[in-house]
Amino acid sequence: AQSVTQLDSHVSVSEGTPVLLRCNYSSSYSPSLFWYVQHPNKGLQLLLKYTSAATLVKGINGFEAEFKKSETSFHLTKPSAHMSDAAEYFCVVSDRDTGRRALTFGSGTRLQVQP
Amino acid sequence: EAGVAQSPRYKIIEKRQSVAFWCNPISGHATLYWYQQILGQGPKLLIQFQNNGVVDDSQLPKDRFSAERLKGVDSTLKIQPAKLEDSAVYLCASSPRRGPGLENNEQFFGPGTRLTVL
């Protein structure tokens, strides 16, 4: 079985300061890990993905995440927040070794960016 | 390339009525998924198709929900009869890869259908 825990339901930062959204996962197999972003009334957009290559993954809009197997974590970071980053962020796990391959989503972290 | 298309975008019905949602995946994508996203939660898988066969429907409430993917392309999701707790956004996603051992399971999501049951 696979599961994801997003440790913060809400995160508030000031524009220009760093962003850290925390995620821990559980997987019986070799996981693929993703971060998706959802802006209000818009579809889910893939930010970045880890699929067993480099453990530090760079995504769109300056976001990056580091896969740490020993800590079962996949935290999302950005050096400097922008107002347009305000959205809901989902950490997602998928088992690469099974035919099921569906995504298991965390409960989401709402990022607020203060001017 | 065109993205995943869904219709309608919004639907309001009364409880005990029936409703159907339609999804057209990205051309050539073999795998299609339906997810339910209740307000304030992450999406939850309802059903996964591989071409026109069902791979996983373990979380589909089969007493009221049904889905089909005729000819392995478009898909419809139906609820009959609807309950208040079915109010949610229904997301369709498709993926170009299949099978174990592959490195990429990226899924592409449509805009969703927001269902309100009164």
Q: What is the pLDDT of residues A27-74, one digit of tens each?
A: 877 788 999 999 987 789 999 988 777 889 999 999 999 999 999 999
pLDDT at residue A14 above 90?
yes
Closest chain B CA to residue A49: B106
In angstroms, the Cα distances linking B117 to A43, B12, B18, B37 are: 21, 6, 10, 14
Q: Please provide the average confidence, as pLDDT, over all residues in chain A.
A: 90
Q: Which residues of A72-108 are buried (b: 16+ CB within 10 A; e: fewer)?
A: ebbbbebeebeeebbbbbbbbbbbbebeebbbbbbeb
Q: How confident is the model at residue A97 (pLDDT cuts 50, 70, 90)?
A: low
Residue B77 distance to chain A (closest CA, Å) = 17
Which of A82, A40, A92 lies closest to A61, judged by CA?
Answer: A82
pLDDT on residue B38: 95
Q: Residue with structure tokens 């390339």?
A: B1
d(CA A86, CA A11): 10
pLDDT at residue A23 above 60?
yes
pLDDT on residue B101: 40
Per-residue pLDDT of chain B (118 residues; tens, 9 = 90+): 689 999 999 999 999 999 999 999 999 888 899 999 999 899 999 999 988 899 889 999 999 999 999 888 999 999 999 999 999 999 999 988 654 444 456 788 999 999 999 9
Structure tokens, B70: 């005729």
In contact, B22 and B76? CB cutoff 8 Å: yes
Residue B15 distance to chain A (closest CA, Å) = 24
d(CA A56, CA A45): 20
Of the candidates B100, B108, B110, which has its C-beta nearest A98's C-beta? B100
Of the candidates B42, B55, B103, which has its C-beta nearest A99's C-beta? B55
Strands A31-38 and A44-50: antiparallel
**Interface contacts A/B by beta carbons within 8 Å:** 69
Q: What is the pLDDT of residues A63-85, one digit of tens each?
A: 999 999 999 999 999 999 999 99
Structure tokens, B96: 């170009």
B57: left (phi over 0), alpha (psi -120 to 50) or beta: alpha
pLDDT on residue B100: 46
Handedness of CA A37, A23, B113, B98 (dihedral sign): positive
Q: Residue with structure tokens 């992450």?
A: B42
Work out the widest C-alpha separation in chain B, in whole angstroms.
45
Interchain proximity B104–A101, CB inside 8 Å: no
pLDDT on residue B102: 44
Interchain proximity B42–A105, CB inside 8 Å: yes
**What would the mean pLDDT of A15-26 be, rounded to a whole number?**
96
Contact residues on chain B for A40, CB-CB shorter than 8 A: none
Residue A1 distance to chain B (closest CA, Å) = 13
Residue B32 distance to chain A (closest CA, Å) = 10
pLDDT on residue A109: 97
d(CA B91, CA B110): 6
Beta-carbon-side half-sphere exposure of residue A94 (alpha carbons within 13 Å): 28
d(CA B97, CA A37): 22
Of the candidates A44, A101, A106, which has its C-beta nearest B105's C-beta? A101
In contact, A59 and A67? CB cutoff 8 Å: no
